[in-house]
Structure 1
Amino acid sequence: MATIVMERIGRVFISLQQIREVPRMLTEAAPSMPGTVRDTEVPYYFRERYVCTGYRPLNQNWRYYFLSLFQCHNETVNVWTHLLAFLVILVKFRQLAETVDFVGDPHSWPLLILFLSSLTYSAFSAAAHLLAGKSELCHHVFFFLDYVGVAQYQYGSAVVHFYYAVDESLHRCVRGVFMPAAAVLSCLSCLGCCYGKYCNHSLPTWVRKVCQAVPSAIAYMWDSSPVAQRLASRPASGDDDPAIVYHFGQVAFFLSCSFFFTFPLLERCFPGRCNFVGQSHQLFHVFLSCCTLCQIHASHLDYAGRRELYSRLHGSGEAAVFAGLYAATLAVCVLIAAFMLRKVKRVLDAKSK
C-alpha cells in the first residue's frame, strides 16, 4: 500500500514539474515577441477612444499576431470572448445533433442556419480582433469579414424568428415579404458597416457609428418583430411557454450589447484605466454571446414545442427556399465587402505614391 501511494505521489510530482516547464517552452517558441505600445505609436485609425496603451506594433510577421492570442494586449479579451463563444456554440450544436435530424428534417434547417451563422460571426469576429492589427489593409480586410459575419447572423436570427416564433396573425400579414426584406436589410447592414470603416479617415467617429448602428438597428427591429409580438401577447397566451424566458433574455442581452457598442461608457468614465480589461466593446462581445445562446435555446424549444403550428404555417419546400436565400445573402455580403475593399486599395495605393 505504501509503495502504491509513493508511486502516485511521484507521478503527481512529475506532472507538476512538466507544468512548470510550460512557460519556458512558450518563451522558447516565441523568443522575440515584441511588447505592446502606446496609442501615439500606431496610426490614428487603429486607436480606440480613451484606450491609451496595449496596442500591438504594426508590420510584424503573421506568427507574432497568431501567438499574440496568448499575449496581454488591448484586444485579448475581445478575441477570447468570441473564441470561447464559438466553442460553446459548437458544443451546443453537437449536443442537439444527437436528437435533431439536421439533414432529413427540413423543419430543422432554420435552426441549422442559426447555428451556422452564429459560428461564422463569432469566428470572423475573433479573427478580426486577432489579426487586423498587422497593417491598414489587413485592418480593413478582417473587419469587412467581421461585418459579413454580423450581416449573415442577422439573417440567421430572422429565419428562426419567422419560422418558429411567429404567431399566426403576424404570419398572415408578412408572409412572402418578411424573409426577402430581412435579406435586403442584412445586405444594407453589411454595406453600412463597411462604408463606415472605409470612411474612417474622413468622417467623425459619431458619423461612422451612425453608418454602422442605424442599418443594424433597423434590421434587428424587423428581424425580431415576431418575438416582440409574441412577448407582447404573452398575458393572453398563458405562462406555459418555456421559450418565453429565453426570448426575454435574448432581447435584454441585445439591448445591453447595443448600448455598449454605441457608447464607450466605461472608457469615458475611467480614461486610461480600461486599456486591457473593462472596455465597452468587451462587454458588447459578452452580451452578444449571451444573446446568441439564449436565442439558440429559445429557438430549439420552439422547434420542439411549436411543431404543429409552424408545420401548418410554412408549406413544403419553404425551408429550402429560406436556406437558398441565406446562401444568396451571404454571397451578396461577400461581394459588398470585396467592392469596398477594392475602394480601400485604391485609397492606399494613392497614399503610397
Structure 2
Amino acid sequence: MATIVMERIGRVFISLQQIRQVPRMLTEAAPSMPGTVRDTEVPRYFREHYVHAGYRPLEQNWRYYFLSLFQRHNETINVWTHLLACLVFLAKLRQLAETVDFLNDRHSWPLLILVVSSLIYSGCSAAAHLLGGKSELCHHGFFFLDYVGVAQYQYGSAVVHFYYAVDESMHRYVGGVFMPVATLLSCLSCFGCCYGKYRCHSRPTSVRKVFQVVPSGLAYLWDSSTVVRRLALWSADDLAIVYHFGQVAFFLSCAFFFTFPVLERCFPGRCDFLGQSHQVFHVLLSCCTLCQIHASHLDYVARRELYSRLHQGGEPALFVGLYAATLFVCALIAALILRKVKHMLDLIAKSK
C-alpha cells in the first residue's frame, strides 16, 4: 500500500515539474519575440481609448502573432475569453449530440444552427484579436471576419427564438416574415459594421460604434421579440423562462460595456492588460450565449407539440438554406468592402 502511494506521489511530482517547464519551453520556442510598445509607437488607428501600453509592434512575421497567444499584451484576455468560450460551446455541442438526433430530427436543426453559429462567432473573434495587429489591412480583414461571425450568430439567435420560443398568437402575425426580416437585418448589421470601419477610418472610435450598434440593435430587437413576449407572459410552469431572462440580462449588460469604455475611463492606464470593458463584454456575451443554448434546448424538449404544429415540415430545411445564404452574403459584403479598404490604403501609401 505504501509503495502504491509513493508511486502516485512521484507521478504527481513529475507532472508538476513538467507544468513548471512550460513557460521555459515557450520562451525557448520563441526567443526573439519583441516586447510590447506604448500607444505612441503604433498608428492612431490601432489605439484604444485610455489603454496606454501593451500594444504589439506591427509588421512582424505571422509566427510572432500566433505565439503572442502566450504573451502578455493588451489583447491577451480578449483572445482567451472567446477562445475558451469556443471550447465550451464545442463541449456543449458534444453533450447535446448525446441526446439530440441532429441528423434525422429536422426540428433540432435550428438548435444546431445556434450552436454552430456560436462556435463561429467566438472563433472569429479570437482570431481577430490575435491576428488583427499585424497590419492595417489585416486589422480590417480579420475584424470584418469578426463582423461576419456576429451577423451569422444574430441569424442563429433569430431562428431558435422564432422556432422554439414563439407562441401561437404571435406566429399568426409574423410567421411569414420573421425569418426573411431577420436575414435582412443580419446582412445589414454586417454591412453597417464593415462600412463604418471603412468610412470612419480617421474618425473617433465613438463614430464607428454608431455604425456597429444601431443596425445590431435593430437586429436584436427583432430577433428577441418572441422572447420578450415570453417574459411578459411569465409562467411558473415554463422551464426555460429563467434562462431566457438570463440571456436578455446578460446581453443588455454586455451591450453597455461594448458601447461605453467605463472601466478604462475610470482607471486610465491601469487596464492595459486586465480590466478593459471589451473583456467584460466578451465574458458577458459568452454567458448570454450559454443561457440561450440552454433555454433553446429546454424549449426544444418541452414545447415540441407546439412548434411541430406551428412550423411546416419543410421550414427547417428552408432555415438552414437561409443560414447558408446569410453566411455567403455577409462574407461577400466583407470581401467587397475589404477591396475598398485596400484601395484606400494604397492611395494613402502613394500620397506619402
TM-score (norm 1): 0.97
- Matched residues in 2 for 1:297 and 1:35: separation? 42
2:79 alignment counterpart: 79
Distance 1:12 1:103 in 2: 43
Residue matched to 1:306: 303
Question: 2: CA distance between counterparts of 1:14 and 1:175?
Answer: 61
Distance 2:163 2:267 in 1: 44
Structure 2 CA distance for partners of 1:13 and 1:314, relative to 1, 3 Å: closer
After TM superposition, give the deviation of residue 11 of structure 1 in Å. Answer: 3.8
Matched AA of 1:252? A
Alignment of 1:97-246 (within 5 A): 97-234=97-234, 238-246=235-243
For residue 218 of structure 1, what is the amino acid of its counterpart? L
Post-superposition Cα deviations, 1:158-214, rounded to whole Å, max 9, x if no partner, equal 000000000111100001100000000000000000011112423333221111100
CA contact (8 A) 2:182 2:219 kept: yes
Cα shift readout 1:300-328 (whole Å, capped 9, x = no counterpart): 00000000000000011011101100100
Q: Which residue of 2 aligns with 1:259?
A: 256
Report the CA distance shift for 1:244/1:4 in structure 2 as closer, same or farther (over 3 A).
closer
CA contact (8 A) 2:251 2:285 kept: yes
Counterpart residue number, 1:247: 244
Residues of 1 paired with 2:212 and 2:126: CA distance? 19
SS in 1 for 2:54: strand
- Say if 1:110 and 1:156, in contact at 8 Å, map to a contact too: yes
Q: Paired residue for 1:68? A: 68
Residues 9 and 216 (structure 1), Cα distance of their counterparts in 2 relative to 1, 3 Å cut: closer
- 1:207-258 superposed Cα distances (whole Å, 9 cap, x missing partner): 2111110000000000000000111111xxx301110000000000000000
Deviations 1:15-42 (A, max 9, x none): 3333333222211111011111000000
Q: How far, CA to CA, are the matches of 1:24 and 1:266 in structure 2?
A: 33
Amino acid at match of 1:84: L
1:276 is displaced (CA, Å) by 0.7
Q: CA RMSD in A?
A: 1.2
How many percent identity over aligned positions?
81
Over 6 Å off, 4+ runs: none
Q: Distance in 2 between matches of 1:128 and 1:303?
A: 33
Instruction: Give the deviation of 1:334 after TM superposition.
Output: 0.4
Q: CA deviation at 1:3?
A: 4.7
Q: How does 1:26-45 map to 2 (within 5 A)?
A: 26-45=26-45
Shift of 1:349: 1.0
CA–CA separation in structure 1 for the residues paired with 2:301 and 2:15:
46
Q: How far does residue 110 in structure 1 lie from its aligned partner after superposition?
A: 0.3
> Are the aligned partners of 1:45 and 1:200 in contact in 2 as well (CA < 8 Å)?
no
Check conservation: 1:189, 1:219, Cα contact below 8 A: yes
| Of 343, 346, 349, the match for 2:346 | 349
Between the aligned partners of 1:231 and 1:275, the Cα distance in structure 2 is: 39
Amino acid in structure 1 at the alignment position of 2:209:
K
Do the aligned residues in 2 keep the contact of 1:89 with 1:119 (CA within 8 Å)? yes
Structure 1: any 5+ residue segments left out of the alignment? none
Which amino acid is the alignment partner of residue 262 of structure 2?
A: L
Q: Say whether 1:326 aligns with 2:323.
A: yes
More displaced 10-residue stretch of structure 1: 78-87 or 203-212: 203-212
Distance in 2 (alpha carbons) for counterparts of 1:301 and 1:149: 25
Q: Residues 2, 296 of structure 1: CA spacing in aligned structure 2 closer, same or farther, 3 A cutoff?
A: closer
Partner in structure 2 of residue 56 of structure 1: 56
CA distance, structure 2, for counterparts of residue 101 and residue 17 of structure 1: 44
Residues 1:292 and 1:5: Cα distance change in structure 2 (over 3 Å): closer
Output the amino acid matched with 1:268. Answer: R
Distance 2:9 2:309 in 1: 64
Looking at structure 1, the residues matched to 19 and 207 of structure 2 have their Cα atoms a distance apart, in angstroms, of 50
Measured in 1, the distance between the counterparts of 2:248 and 2:223 equals 12
What residue number does 2:314 align with?
A: 317
Question: In 2 relative to 1, CA 15–211 (structure 1 residues): closer, same or farther, beyond 3 Å?
Answer: closer
State the match for 1:340 in structure 2. Answer: 337
* Distance in 2 (alpha carbons) for counterparts of 1:293 and 1:7: 41
SS of alignment partner, residue 181 of structure 1: helix
